[in-house]
Structure 1
């Protein structure tokens, strides 16, 4: 290393040491401030400040006709979230003092100190990652190490609180009987409790305000009716409404003393379960223990171990963001502590749940799928028997899912031991990847291969499959919990390359599946998203934060993988898109979020009818046809819709119409539209389709048969094979002659005599009847417009 390099490294080390000292000093001061105030009053203040900021962000600087801008994470999440984690840490680490008083000036100092600590933590992440030259993620290790550290400090994963109960209900269902035995409640009740817990922090303040407003309205009504003063009216109301008085007191507690975090009051979870998830005051001994990084966010926050805290006789969920991850892990850990002999059965049930999750949760997206679990085969190289978790075959799409039932997220700090932090992720990802790789190599080892089940120690063949039958093959590593952002970055691991040179490996979590099934409700939508997602997984040095950003980019940009690939081709060293999940995030907000609408890609009605007809028929090849249509951009979709509508409306005069769409692209469509009730002349269909194939760039055409009425009803739609004819011969001369006629008709309209605004798609020009309205949209008959 040069002298200049040595000096730069020394300066970074000195800066890191200074930042660490500042962080430790700030953490110690925060500890003093937090322990010196009543916890309920402090919580009430912090939650109220968060609500005020959220309301301010929604109402300031917005024009009525403009959509709201994304809320700034620094303002709305990180400031309060970071501080709440420290409140939890201090309360878990320090016994309660004898007498303290709330002080708003101390709160102001607490916010200021918290901001400085968080800011220095980010600078520290930069300073301690910059020198990393190589590692688990190759040349990108420094960048990924920084992002892992930054995420450790700032973000706890992109969670939707309204889905907490759904998640818990699914992942706890395998242990329902033991949960009832240990805690007296089963998976459904526990899931409802966790949902109530998150609902309280999500909407507790607004509920409390509405409750108080109703009470005040009732008191003012007594004033008006009886002509008494306010004090007398309150007394009259209280005597007549003892039940509502208790609710009003609870609402006051929710609004001003952190009552929204009181899970003893807002859930029906048993005390034994809450105790297993909670710290008592002063119980935590590691976070502020002497040593390097003491009290800094680069130690493991106590909330990562137990998310609740016991204050007096009630349990509080001070930090709402760790309730999901830490709560799930803490619950299962304590379940096994109470019932250690359940370990073997626990592992088996977790395995079965995680292996079934993909096909189970996404059952609507996988209609008629053949689902095989615990698939065995003899490795052609080692000659040993190998096993894969779940193989799903639907139409011409294959999903191979390797599930990992263990906790995805390590509680090891990336700053104290990035190697261990990264290794926990690698163990999940690489093991799943290698298992998928073995099966893919087996599928490619012969034209047809056999698959087996293990029955009574013997391997019994249950299916034979051909790799050539599957247009899309997606290997997937599935975890119970999300482990963003490293899951998205694992494609940069040197070991992770597209299987068989073309099938990118995708990391997902059960969390992700609950969102995907809502926003991609049809099989065609989901299959196309997985195609795009797989292409993105194979694209190195182009990143989005997590699965929800990938989903948001897809809904907004469609083939966003191609956009990012083009940015790399244009000279970008590294491409990172941020904030793409905004529209997805918004769809899970609000009291009536389930009613939607959820964000979706825009399609003209005519194209939607075609997609619906394909989905209704689900004939072999329907996912291929949907994929080709969904690949189109906005202009392509509009042009296709115009052609479909134009030809459909002419079915009263013509029993059948056809057109070649996108002849110059890689995936052209030959669409034959048949009038409903008329017989299809398949000889004519095949001849015309084969002739059209001769006009395309690559000769590969997807044929779609559409049976419709001129009035707009699509009776059915399905694919049919389009065969490229062999060399010209006497038998196929008619096809070549038809291709020549098509070519001449298309060429004759290459320079239309109408303004550019009335140009029609090249794919439409060669096949419009002379008396039909011109497909260009001019409203003039074809013979007087482009047909001249």
Structure 2
């Protein structure tokens, strides 16, 4: 289709959208709001229940059905009309008109999607270079389709964290602190999530109580109902409220389902007819490409109560509206507010992930003199843990613009510029500084002066991860940012990632150990460096990692050879999404990658010991596929059991990555580090690797791992008289039958005779550190 015809098609679709939206407005404004809400929610619940009871085969046979998403889309329109119009005096509920409304809602979404395609196809260039047209289409389609991709059970946790810095002012303005407000938002989410089930349970309880009463009276229920109601006023009232929840939109009544004060609810709500922009004359009037009122204020006032009609925008829209109105009520708080927001966002990564970053060195507000400009520069948060470096640039402002991409795609692009590119540039400047010398100093600014607070050597870090952190989710731009022409791997190999505080609360649950989190971030960074490979958000990345492990290899294989210009993985978050379903979600274990028990025990021992290089050792083991993990488990089991006859055993596991050298040592024997290093060096020569990742695992008399020390061994640069035995050992190891070496350790000198080094002596493992700071801890 040529450009002229595409423009004509886009104009025609726009006209059709406006007509459909006008008809929807007319139908919604003419119906009693409570009855209309009750009807839509009932359809929503019935569909959800049908989906839960259906088998996987039935769901696949039925094909995709987005009625639930369609209902949420319609609820936003109900909110928009109620915010924009005052209803006539006489209102009548009409189920036939409701059916028409559902059909119009489906039609409007379809028209909006066709418009997204037709209006984006001609975009030749922009902020995203040659990919701008595709990303513009995705921005428009997500604007229409995306409905609060959040886990409702985590609402309270999110609000509690991000509102905590403002606790004193929230108490002053609203009489409620951060924890109380967070509890209110969680109650709001719970009502929409399980309110109908709770209402059904309440009605059943009251019905059974009334039946029992009738049985004691030996009369039919209808004959004693009036008496029972009179004698059980509170129970009958509860039943009445349950009926309201089920049939008149009562689950959305946040005045009843939360204890949040009216002043706060009023700040989050529209009064009837207050909204004047959504249906105002002009292009896109009333269409999904205007900014839906629910994106500005998530609540609506009906009578004296406040309703959260659409449950999916209460997170972002509620957060923005609350902070905006807090500053409106207390304008002199603005400067302190900004300082507190900045401090909260800069601390969030290390704070929320404290269990994943044990013993990490954390520098905040790090200063350094830029070698290029000779000016002092500042970075938010630098985190150093073992051989992994995280540089986190936090942006405390709202992540997502509420301006429609159809009305102003440039403003959306500017959000990317502000939230992604600025963070990237700050990370790039710091990485260049790290690369400017073998060791660079870091400074804090104290009393207007710069005081050195630490030093960093780039060579000590296997992984360096530049991260842009936003408060709110920035999907899909957070994962598309790698398509920006100026976003390139720093120093040629360290890809930039964009993550939100929102994401961190999920990641910490699924990646509960430092090793699993570091390995996920390693894989995540690898995917961030692959252009034209798209997963929608962080939870798709997490789901892909849990189910496929090194899914970056799968993506690279699929893109190799230029057979595909773009690769999209969809639905990978399913394993994550399902973990937050059900009332018992907190008591169930979260999905994780599977490891044979023997390998898992070794990983636990490595994590418990945490000697220098332990994350590298864990990464190597976690890189193994199912077969590699099984093979490792078998060798570990066999050799661990043989320690009853031998003081130590060892083997080398070779593969595509660096070889893994494992030395198993009886716990009652001292480690002979000379022998360990010689054998590891021989292994490096045997497999022709420059380095070997080593693990020395100690096993007690019961066969349990009591410690596992990571270390690095290097291949000798040249053969000498002193190391000829290493070369001879390597020749034996290189034989095909000895690639996994089961050497008879009887030939080793008894480890008990090894002299223990002094605390300030170099550690015999070869790390270069003092013994007291390495394996002598």
The TM-score, its normalising length taken from structure 2, stands at: 0.94
**Do the aligned residues in 1 keep the contact of 2:665 with 2:696 (CA within 8 Å)?**
yes
Equivalent of residue 22 in structure 1, options 2, 16, 20:
16
**Match of 2:628?**
636
Aligned to 2:404, the other structure's residue is in SS state coil
The CA deviation at 1:225 is 2.5
**Do the aligned residues in 2 keep the contact of 1:648 with 1:709 (CA within 8 Å)?**
no
**Match of 1:55?**
49
Instruction: Determine the C-alpha separation between the residues in 1 that align with 2:426 and 2:501.
Output: 19
Instruction: Determine the C-alpha separation between the residues in 1 that align with 2:37 and 2:107.
Output: 20
Aligned to 1:587, the other structure's residue is in SS state helix
**Match of 1:555?**
546
Aligned to 2:189, the other structure's residue is in SS state helix
**Match of 2:162?**
171
Deviation track 1:266-318 (CA, whole Å, cap 9, x = no partner) reads 00000000001100100100000011110000000001111100001100000
The CA deviation at 1:74 is 4.9
**Match of 2:601?**
609
Instruction: Determine the C-alpha separation between the residues in 2 that align with 1:415 and 1:260.
Output: 33
**Match of 1:254?**
245
The CA deviation at 1:207 is 0.3
**Do the aligned residues in 1 keep the contact of 2:48 with 2:68 (CA within 8 Å)?**
no
**Match of 1:781?**
none
**Match of 1:32?**
26
**Match of 1:129?**
120
The CA deviation at 1:241 is 2.1
**Do the aligned residues in 1 keep the contact of 2:662 with 2:694 (CA within 8 Å)?**
yes
Q: Which moved more, 1:114-123 or 1:217-226?
A: 217-226
Instruction: Determine the C-alpha separation between the residues in 1 that align with 2:432 and 2:241.
Output: 62
Equivalent of residue 589 in structure 2, options 567, 587, 597:
597
Check 1:49–1:670 CA distance in 2 against 1; reply closer, same or farther (3 A cut).
Answer: same
Check 1:406–1:73 CA distance in 2 against 1; reply closer, same or farther (3 A cut).
Answer: farther
The CA deviation at 1:572 is 1.7
**Match of 1:756?**
none
The CA deviation at 1:367 is 0.2
**Match of 1:675?**
666
In the alignment, structure 1 residue 181 sits paired with structure 2 residue 172: yes
In the alignment, structure 1 residue 274 sits paired with structure 2 residue 274: no
In the alignment, structure 1 residue 377 sits paired with structure 2 residue 368: yes
In the alignment, structure 1 residue 525 sits paired with structure 2 residue 519: no
RMSD value over aligned CA atoms?
A: 1.6
**Do the aligned residues in 2 keep the contact of 1:218 with 1:237 (CA within 8 Å)?**
no
Equivalent of residue 408 in structure 1, options 399, 404, 414:
399
**Match of 1:721?**
712
The CA deviation at 1:697 is 3.5
**Do the aligned residues in 2 keep the contact of 1:651 with 1:709 (CA within 8 Å)?**
no
**Match of 1:580?**
572
Aligned to 1:701, the other structure's residue is in SS state strand
Aligned to 1:652, the other structure's residue is in SS state coil
Equivalent of residue 151 in structure 1, options 131, 134, 142:
142
**Do the aligned residues in 2 keep the contact of 1:665 with 1:697 (CA within 8 Å)?**
no
The CA deviation at 1:666 is 2.3
The CA deviation at 1:138 is 0.9
Output aligned runs, 1:182-581, within 5 Å. Answer: 182-570=173-561, 571-581=563-573
In the alignment, structure 1 residue 619 sits paired with structure 2 residue 611: yes
Aligned to 1:453, the other structure's residue is in SS state strand
Instruction: Determine the C-alpha separation between the residues in 2 that align with 1:84 and 1:343.
Output: 34
**Match of 2:759?**
none
**Do the aligned residues in 2 keep the contact of 1:409 with 1:425 (CA within 8 Å)?**
no
The CA deviation at 1:710 is 6.2
Instruction: Determine the C-alpha separation between the residues in 2 that align with 1:443 and 1:70.
Output: 56
Instruction: Determine the C-alpha separation between the residues in 2 that align with 1:425 and 1:740.
Output: 56
Instruction: Determine the C-alpha separation between the residues in 2 that align with 1:684 and 1:644.
Output: 19
Instruction: Determine the C-alpha separation between the residues in 2 that align with 1:581 and 1:60.
Output: 20
Instruction: Determine the C-alpha separation between the residues in 1 that align with 2:390 and 2:60.
Output: 37
Check 1:549–1:281 CA distance in 2 against 1; reply closer, same or farther (3 A cut).
Answer: same
**Match of 1:764?**
740
**Match of 2:2?**
8
Instruction: Determine the C-alpha separation between the residues in 2 that align with 1:619 and 1:706.
Output: 12
Check 1:72–1:484 CA distance in 2 against 1; reply closer, same or farther (3 A cut).
Answer: farther
**Do the aligned residues in 2 keep the contact of 1:44 with 1:255 (CA within 8 Å)?**
yes
The CA deviation at 1:724 is 1.0
**Do the aligned residues in 2 keep the contact of 1:157 with 1:484 (CA within 8 Å)?**
no
Instruction: Determine the C-alpha separation between the residues in 1 that align with 2:539 and 2:521.
Output: 13
Instruction: Determine the C-alpha separation between the residues in 1 that align with 2:279 and 2:651.
Output: 73
Check 1:467–1:562 CA distance in 2 against 1; reply closer, same or farther (3 A cut).
Answer: same
Aligned to 1:322, the other structure's residue is in SS state coil
In the alignment, structure 1 residue 109 sits paired with structure 2 residue 103: no
Instruction: Determine the C-alpha separation between the residues in 2 that align with 1:584 and 1:91.
Output: 35
Give aligned pairs, total: 745
Deviation track 1:39-98 (CA, whole Å, cap 9, x = no partner) reads 0000001011000001111222446xx9x8799885243210110000000000001210
Instruction: Determine the C-alpha separation between the residues in 2 that align with 1:353 and 1:566.
Output: 40
**TM superposition outliers: structure 1 runs of 4+ over 4 Å:** 68-74
Instruction: Determine the C-alpha separation between the residues in 1 that align with 2:149 and 2:108.
Output: 23
The CA deviation at 1:563 is 0.7
In the alignment, structure 1 residue 705 sits paired with structure 2 residue 681: no
Instruction: Determine the C-alpha separation between the residues in 2 that align with 1:467 and 1:69.
Output: 51
Deviation track 1:702-721 (CA, whole Å, cap 9, x = no partner) reads 01000013643001001122
Equivalent of residue 642 in structure 2, options 650, 666, 673:
650
Instruction: Determine the C-alpha separation between the residues in 1 that align with 2:530 and 2:405.
Output: 25
Aligned to 1:666, the other structure's residue is in SS state coil
**Do the aligned residues in 2 keep the contact of 1:157 with 1:483 (CA within 8 Å)?**
no
Instruction: Determine the C-alpha separation between the residues in 1 that align with 2:588 and 2:81.
Output: 40
The CA deviation at 1:665 is 2.1
Check 1:196–1:468 CA distance in 2 against 1; reply closer, same or farther (3 A cut).
Answer: same
Check 1:287–1:71 CA distance in 2 against 1; reply closer, same or farther (3 A cut).
Answer: farther
Instruction: Determine the C-alpha separation between the residues in 2 that align with 1:252 and 1:70.
Output: 35
Check 1:98–1:165 CA distance in 2 against 1; reply closer, same or farther (3 A cut).
Answer: same
Check 1:768–1:107 CA distance in 2 against 1; reply closer, same or farther (3 A cut).
Answer: farther
The TM-score, its normalising length taken from structure 1, stands at: 0.93
**Do the aligned residues in 2 keep the contact of 1:690 with 1:735 (CA within 8 Å)?**
yes
Instruction: Determine the C-alpha separation between the residues in 2 that align with 1:71 and 1:578.
Output: 19
Instruction: Determine the C-alpha separation between the residues in 1 that align with 2:65 and 2:392.
Output: 37
